[in-house]
Amino acid sequence: MTALPLSREAFEARLRQIGAERYHDRHPFHHRLHGGDCTPDEVRAWVVNRYYYQSRIPMKDAAFMSRVEDPALRRAWRSRIEDHDGADGREGGIARWLKLAEAVGLDPAYVASARGVMPATRFAVDAYVRFVREKTLLEAVASSLTELFAPRIHAERIEGLLRHYAFADDISMSYFRKRLDEAPKDVAFGLAWVLDHADTAEKQDAAAAALEFKTDVLWAQLDALWHGYVAPARIPPGAWRPGEGLRAQAA
């Protein structure tokens, strides 16, 4: 006997439960960061590694769009690329992230080179891009739904960083402030699309598994960061080392 799909409401609740249990706002590295307990070098390591995630988001969205045959879906999706890359003289999220890099004392060109990114960060982030390129469109859209839970963490981060770190100001926090405006529209669209298209129990299971996979992508990045940079730090070969990639004044 084939299982019946959950109602729209029950399926949405199932997706939200995944966030409640597995989203990376629960990770100890985030508690440390937002609570003011990170050393300047731990913050720098986070900025260097998280840049790689940021830089790959528009690439995964372009990979997604390259597979979409419906112009309406492509039209709804394409602002995600512009939000990160910028458009028509408007600065995008990547440029704003590099302002944060500068504020924490890093050379933006070094960060943008991605030279200091840890292997585990690359593996996790590249796995996300590959997932979106290779899985069904439903799984690809579902994997973006961690953003349902992101506004909460961005608000928490703005507040925590402003309270605890001298580098935090309007300019260095602009990435997160802007995401508070941008993300809700994307996620409302993505959630409605998944609820509309996951119309069998099998598709609901696949969408839920995709969201879990994505929480793993995020969690694994923070595990790597903790292992690499929080004492006793075990920095992997080739990854950023304290003192490297600093901007001239901060060196």
Ligand X SMILES: O=C(O)c1cc(C(=O)O)c2c(n1)C(=O)C(=O)c1cc(C(=O)O)[nH]c1-2
By CB under 6 A, name the binding residues for ligand X.
57, 144, 146-147, 150, 153-154, 179, 218
| Minimum distance of ligand X from residue 249's CB (angstroms) | 27
DSSP-assigned letters across all residues of 45-85 = HHHHHHHHHHHHHHHHHHHHHTT---HHHHHHHTHHHHHHH
Q: Is 220 helix (H, G, I), strand (E, B) or coil?
A: helix
Nearer to ligand X, 29 or 240 (CB): 29
Using the minimum distance from each CB to ligand X, give the nearer residue, 107 or 147. 147
Calpha distance 19→146 (Å, rounded): 7
Calpha distance 61→129 (Å, rounded): 8
Q: How far is the CB of 170 from ligand X (least distance, A)?
A: 18
Closer Cβ to ligand X, 16 or 247, answer by number:
16
Choice between 179 and 203, CB closer to ligand X? 179
Check if the beta carbon of residue 29 is closer than 8 Å to that of residue 222.
Answer: yes
230, burial (CB in 10 Å: exposed 0-12, middle 13-18, buried 19+): middle
Which residue number is nearest to ligand X in terms of Cβ?
Answer: 146
Could you tell me the smallest distance in angstroms from the CB atom of residue 202 to ligand X? 23
End-to-end CA distance of the chain: 66
Residues in the chain: 251
In the complex, what is the shortest distance from the CB of residue 251 to ligand X, in angstroms, rounded to a whole number? 28
Could you give the CA distance from residue 78 to residue 57 in angstroms, rounded to a whole number? 12
Q: Which residue has the tokens 């045959």?
A: 69
Question: Would you say 222 or 239 has its CB closer to ligand X?
Answer: 222
CB of 232 to ligand X, least distance (A): 26
Can you tell me the distance from the alpha carbon of 50 to that of 96, in angstroms, rounded to the nearest whole number? Answer: 13
Distance in angstroms (rounded) separating the CA atoms of residues 184 and 145: 11
Nearer to ligand X, 32 or 179 (CB): 179
Name the burial class of residue 18, with classes exposed (0-12), middle (13-18) and buried (19+) by CB atoms within 10 angstroms of its CB.
buried
For the CB of residue 179, give the shortest distance to ligand X in the complex, in Å.
5
CB of 121 or CB of 146, closer to ligand X:
146
**In the complex, minimum distance from the CB of residue 195 to ligand X, in angstroms, rounded to a whole number:** 18
